[in-house]
Amino acid sequence: MGIRERLSGNEAAAIAMKQINPDVVAAFPITPSTEIPQYFSTFVNNGTVDTEFVAVESEHSAMTACIGAESAGARAMTATSANGLSLMWEMIYIASSLRLPIVMSLVNRAVSGPLNIHNDHSDAMGVRDSGWIMLFSENNQEAYDNLLMAHKIAEHKDVLLPLMVCQDGFITSHSIENIELLEDETVKAFVGTYKPEHYLLNRMEPIAIGPLDLQAYLFEHKYQQSVAMKNAKKVILDVAKEFEELTGRKYSFFEEYKLEDAEIAIVCMNSTAGTTKYVVDNLREKGIKAGLLKLRVFRPFPAEEIAKALSGLKAVAILDKADSLNSAGGALFEDVTSAMYVNKYQVTMCNYIYGIGGRDVSARDIESVYTDLQKIVSDGNLDNPYRYLGLREN
């Protein structure tokens, strides 16, 4: 039986970390993720966990410390947001290239500049090709659950890649919701003990970490990362199935909300999915066949599965909470449309950039997208596929 609680997303993440009881946590405060290491440090202080907490002088140092710890054979975790992730940039790539299964809680926030501490996905989108597995969370429950599954995915012998669990800054990180926690011992048994095959402190196998890697081998090593990311797809589903058997909560690459008979649909990630579900329910009551595809796993990108799920629709809108500033749509739009093309499905699609810098997105805004999709279907004319939602007119 689960434990009923009322927690913010940050509290839920910190409690997940407490139950996992990693060997090392290294972190530096940055809004809106600061509460996660802050809450966790109290567990360290009162002896609830036996984690070595490393209070560093910057986010670059936080990831560096995690890399050192993980290389030595320890299970390491951290948390950050936005500019903090940007300061980690060099080490983010090094962590993945060294195949170190570090787990990070990324509380999504706009990256400077200009300075903004509120939610969009520009931080996550900035590192989408860095070799990290990326899970997104609609609500506090999903942020907690994703963190519990994270190590089993990242540490699998066929994967060995770092993993970040994303949630929307302030929207979920600071909002209190009802949540169901697992017992500490249940989490401990589910996550298991970290037993790396190769690590620096193994005196029986002297190794070097992070050597110079030139033309003769780097290409092949990058290919190995790509293969590991592909392998992660099966592992993610296997771990989700095991988690469902334990909790009754079902997860996959994405959630199909009233999509089975839908004619029009939205694709989005994180907390916007909750608002969209509300709008879909209202539209269904009016006889409008609206649906939603809520993406949970962004890396590895489930291209074939998404294409199949959207193949029967008449029109789809992909919502990006970050602008790629490339005049050709956001990152999620590019990936979804590429998936449709490669898998030979022809569905009319448009992109909406929305919510930049924490701009509020209401149910009325989401409903206007479905209205646009209805018009696209009735007129048979897409016009401009690159659109902005909630942008004030000049």
pTM recorded for the entire structure: 0.98
Please name the residue that has the structure tokens 């992660």.
232
Of 146, 162, 202, residue with least CA distance to 63: 162
- The answer to whether the beta carbons of residues 162 and 324 sit under 8 Å apart is no
Measured over the CA atoms of residue 304, residue 239, residue 7 and residue 116, the dihedral's sign is negative
Strand partners, 103: 77, 163
**Beta carbons within 10 angstroms of residue 157's beta carbon:** 10
Which ranges constitute the DSSP H helices of the chain? 9-20, 35-45, 59-71, 82-87, 89-97, 122-126, 140-154, 184-191, 218-247, 272-285, 303-310, 331-342, 363-379
Please name the residue that has the structure tokens 């690590």.
199
Backbone angles phi, psi at 44, to 5 degrees: -65, -45
What pLDDT sits at residue 393?
Answer: 81
Ranges of residues in the chain with a pLDDT under 70 are 1, 394
CA 139 – CA 103 distance, rounded (Å): 19
R_g of the chain, CA atoms, integer Å: 21
**Beta carbons within 10 angstroms of residue 126's beta carbon:** 17
Give the three-class secondary structure for 389. strand
**Beta carbons within 10 angstroms of residue 90's beta carbon:** 11
Please name the residue that has the structure tokens 């940039």.
89
pLDDT per residue as tens digits for the range 308-322: 999 999 999 999 999
CA 85 – CA 82 distance, rounded (Å): 5
Residues 6+ apart with CB under 8 A from 23: 51, 52, 69, 74, 75, 76, 194
Strand partners, 106: 80, 166
What pLDDT sits at residue 211?
Answer: 87
Residue 298 in tokens: 């962004």
Helix axes 218-247, 140-154, angle to 10 degrees: 130
Give the three-class secondary structure for 101. coil
What pLDDT sits at residue 18?
Answer: 98
